[in-house]
Amino acid sequence: MKKTEIVANTERLVTPIIEENHFELVDVEYVKEGSNWYLRVYADKEGGINIDDCVLISRALEAKLDEEDFIEDAYILEVSSPGLGRPLKKDKDFERNLGKPVELKRYKAYDNRKEFEGILTGYTEDTVTFSCEGEEITFDRKDLAMIRQAIEF
């Protein structure tokens, strides 16, 4: 089974658990690190997710994964908060961060730079617009290696 199918099936199984408990599903990923496969579920809620929330999701999801048994490889299931430096991926991530500072990294340089910081002012399915040094800049999402909320200390 392909990684994308594993992620889609996991999302299908975890979504009812997430919704029943009034959490938000941020992301699911299936990645190999070293010799281990990891199935990671990132969840959040208003005020932040805690360890008990992660345990609740993990136990309920483990039962469903064991029942359906669609992952051939041995893997480690991790359920956690997405953390402060999480990338913006879904429209609701962009909506939540409108008017806030963001960091962007491009695959290729634009105006001799690959990294930018500014205020997220808009987005579409294909683009991201932000204000940087008094200038409005719009990039295609496909050209961005990463975009996340800027962490200010």
Residue 120 lies in a domain: yes
In this prediction, what percent of the chain has a pLDDT beyond 70?
Answer: 99
**Quick one: 125 and 59 in the same domain?**
no
**Quick one: 76 and 7 in the same domain?**
yes
Residue 137 lies in a domain: yes
Residues 118 and 101 sit within 8 Å (Cβ to Cβ): yes
Print the domain residue range for 13.
3-80
Three-class secondary structure of residue 142 per DSSP: helix
Residue 48 lies in a domain: yes
pTM across the whole model: 0.72
pLDDT of 90 > 70? The answer is yes
Q: What is the CATH number of the domain that holds 103?
A: 2.30.30.180
Neighbours of 13 (CB within 10 A): 19
Residues 145 and 105 sit within 8 Å (Cβ to Cβ): yes
pLDDT tens column, 3-53: 999 999 999 999 999 999 999 998 899 999 999 999 999 999 988 899 999
Please give the average per-residue pLDDT across 70-92, as a whole number.
Answer: 89
Please give the average per-residue pLDDT across 79-91, as a whole number.
Answer: 85
Q: What are the phi and psi torsion angles at 59 (to 5°)? A: -65, -45
Which residues are within 8 A (CB) of 144 and not within 5 positions of it... i.e. 6 or more apart? 104, 105, 106, 107, 128
Three-class secondary structure of residue 113 per DSSP: strand
**Quick one: 73 and 100 in the same domain?**
no
Number of domains in the chain: 2
Please give the average per-residue pLDDT across 121-143, as a whole number.
Answer: 94
In this prediction, what percent of the chain has a pLDDT beyond 90?
Answer: 80
pLDDT of residue 101: 94
